Amino acid sequence: MVDERILEIKNYIGGDFIDSPRGDFLGVFEPATGRQFASAPLSDASDVDIAVEAARTAQPSWGALGIRERADWLERIADALEERHEEVASLESRDTGKPISLARSVDATRSVSNFRFFAEMLRSQDQEVFEMADASNFVVNKPVGVGALITPWNLPLYLLSWKIAPAIGMGNSVVCKPSELTPMTADLLMRVFDEIGLPEGVVNLVHGDGIGAGSPLVSHPGVDFVSFTGGTSTGGKVAASAAPSFKKLSLELGGKNSSIVFSDCDMQSAVSGVARAGFLNQGQVCLCGSRILVEGSIYEEFRERFVRHVEQMKVGDPSNEGTELGALISQDHLEKVLGYVELAKEEGGNILTGGSRCSPDGFEGGNWMLPTVIEGVGADSRCATEEIFGPLVTLHSFESEEEALGIANNTRYGLAGSVWTGDLERGRSFSEKMETGMVWVNSWLHRDLRAPFGGVKDSGVGREGGRWSLGFFSEAMNVCVKRD
């Protein structure tokens, strides 16, 4: 029985908000309280069929618009979304359990800037020509066609807008499948599209779970490309489903990132920067630095200051302005992270702080855990090499650059990292030797949207960001015109 106070969201297909005809629903729960506050359609392959059909119908005329006209649409979307900034932030905070300050500064703000950034990029595209003595090669960037955009729960609107903006900007139409755990801001974005009159079928959305809706979408014969962000094991299944029909594929997957602290660092900014890298969004960011490697000569001082810093972080009501850590996404995920605390003990770890559930007043039913710092597990232990994706970091010491590099590179992942040193040249040359897609020196998550974003090894295939996104969401064609 659906409680009448529960918000009911629908699929958005061909410009209409519609339920799945079978009438099955998913409950949507607040991570902070554990209470259901919304429901979404539990779509299946038949809903996916209708959505793909709507996208196929819309694509030719959308793709035929001039690039500047599509840039204007992105700008209109940005304006309309910006007007709803506070609504986006509070809905995202409620749906994910993250602190409102983070939802405002990252999720709500960045979703708007994603649309504006790609609008600007589209406007600055020049005709690329390669001249030969007797001919000119004209590069034509055509739409790929219809895309499947699949996104995770940790940064729901931020990551969805990061895909939709360049995808439709390059003339494609899309079908989106957000995480079943966090569908609310995806629905809000569809309402924005509807409000501003984006041509119907350019963006479609089916709610549901990975097996019922995500899998048939990825393997659908009417889908030409797949852009997926999520876990590495799901990425493997997505790649296998997409491969038989040679769909263009982009995979942004998991990470196990190192923060490397050299003895010549600015200790204060390293402590706060490494703590931010470890615990932002309760450690649920693919880029989080969950293995902290500290040069032996400063290890004890760093450990003491770091633990003190972490113990002062405010965990609690996500709607409070001063809250730094909110709730974890689900009970299942909380159990998984707590399971790693037990594993760490088996692996010889010593819990320096945290390591258990907590229960802020009034939030007893939620998924809460204290920020946790562990030392004593080996650098090659499971805790130090597997993606945990929660508020849990491990500390390790090293004696030389070679040792630090060996530890940093000793995981199946290769997404990101940060290096903390007073010697910027050394920071840069050390970073270049790391087997990752991105490294920050003396900062973390300092993003320029023009720069390439993505991972190596089991962290993904391809790059997003700036021209890399525009390249993925288009097909480059060469027209060679021979002169007499």
Tell me whether residue 39 or residue 234 sits nearer to ligand NDP (CB atom): 234
Q: Which residue in the set 39, 59, 114, 179 belongs to the binding site for ligand NDP (CB under 6 A)?
A: 179
Does the protein bind ligand NDP through residue 337 (CB under 6 A)? no
134 CB-near residues (< 8 Å, 6+ apart): 482, 483
| Structure token pair of residue 327 | 């709730």
Residue span binding ligand NDP (CB under 6 A) among the ranges 37-45, 150-158, 369-377, 421-429: 150-158
Q: Which residue in the set 154, 397, 411, 431 belongs to the binding site for ligand NDP (CB under 6 A)?
A: 154
Does the protein bind ligand NDP through residue 231 (CB under 6 A)? yes
Give the type of residue at 346.
Answer: E
Q: Which of 383, 433, 428 is nearest to 406 (CA)?
A: 433
Q: How far is the CB of 6 from ligand NDP (least distance, A)?
A: 19
Q: Which residue in the set 460, 462, 465, 466 belongs to the binding site for ligand NDP (CB under 6 A)?
A: 460
| Binding to ligand NDP, residues 364-393 (CB under 6 A) | 387, 389
User: Of all residues in this chain, which one has the CB nearest to ligand NDP in the complex?
Assistant: 210
Does the protein bind ligand NDP through residue 225 (CB under 6 A)? no
Distance CA 181, CA 87 (A): 19
State the DSSP H helix or E strand holding residue 137, giving kind and residue range, or none if neither. Answer: strand 135-143
Does the protein bind ligand NDP through residue 255 (CB under 6 A)? yes
- Which residues of 22-126 form beta strands (DSSP E)? 25-29, 36-41
- In a 3-state reduction of DSSP, which class is residue 392? strand
Q: For this structure, is 120 an active site residue? A: no
Cα→Cα distances 73→61, 143, 385, 435, Å:
14, 16, 44, 39
- Structural contact between residues 158 and 185, judged by C-beta atoms closer than 8 angstroms: no
Give the type of residue at 78.
Answer: A
Residue span binding ligand NDP (CB under 6 A) among the ranges 43-51, 234-242, 269-277, 356-364: 234-242
Does the protein bind ligand NDP through residue 253 (CB under 6 A)? yes
Does the protein bind ligand NDP through residue 463 (CB under 6 A)? no
Q: Which residue in the set 230, 390, 414, 466 belongs to the binding site for ligand NDP (CB under 6 A)?
A: 230
- Which residues of 14-80 form beta strands (DSSP E)? 16-18, 25-29, 36-41
Q: Which residue in the set 81, 149, 167, 218 belongs to the binding site for ligand NDP (CB under 6 A)?
A: 218
Q: Which of 319, 301, 317, 298 is nearest to 309 (CA)?
A: 301
Residue span binding ligand NDP (CB under 6 A) among the ranges 138-146, 194-202, 252-260, 261-269: 252-260
Does the protein bind ligand NDP through residue 181 (CB under 6 A)? yes
Q: Please, what is the Cα angle at 449 between 446 and 451, to 5 degrees?
A: 85
Does the protein bind ligand NDP through residue 474 (CB under 6 A)? no
Does the protein bind ligand NDP through residue 452 (CB under 6 A)? no
- Structural contact between residues 281 and 155, judged by C-beta atoms closer than 8 angstroms: yes
For ligand NDP (CB under 6 A), the number of binding residues is 32
Cα→Cα distances 426→13, 195, 255, 263, 359, Å:
52, 52, 24, 12, 44
Q: Please, what is the Cα angle at 187 between 185 and 192, to 5 degrees?
A: 90
Question: 92, 252, 324, 375: which is the annotated catalytic residue?
Answer: 252
Q: For this structure, is 252 an active site residue? A: yes
| Structure token pair of residue 317 | 């009501």
Locate tokens 């119907």: which residue? Answer: 200
| Binding to ligand NDP, residues 273-312 (CB under 6 A) | 286
Does the protein bind ligand NDP through residue 444 (CB under 6 A)? no
Q: How far is the CB of 215 from ligand NDP (least distance, A)?
A: 4
Give Cα 176 distance to the centre of its chain. Answer: 14
- Structural contact between residues 439 and 418, judged by C-beta atoms closer than 8 angstroms: yes
Residue span binding ligand NDP (CB under 6 A) among the ranges 68-76, 224-232, 371-379, 422-430: 224-232
Residue span binding ligand NDP (CB under 6 A) among the ranges 15-23, 37-45, 101-109, 213-221: 213-221
Q: Which of 468, 389, 437 is nearest to 118 (CA)?
A: 468
Q: Which residue in the set 73, 153, 302, 398 belongs to the binding site for ligand NDP (CB under 6 A)?
A: 153
Q: How far apart are the first and last CA of the chain?
A: 76
Distance CA 149, CA 214 (A): 9
Q: How far is the CB of 183 from ligand NDP (least distance, A)?
A: 9
Does the protein bind ligand NDP through residue 185 (CB under 6 A)? no
Q: How far is the CB of 158 from ligand NDP (least distance, A)?
A: 9
Q: How far is the CB of 64 from ligand NDP (least distance, A)?
A: 30
Catalytic residues: 252, 286
Contacts to ligand NDP by CB under 6 A: 150-154, 177-181, 209-211, 214-215, 218, 229-231, 234, 237-238, 252-255, 286, 387, 389, 415, 455, 460
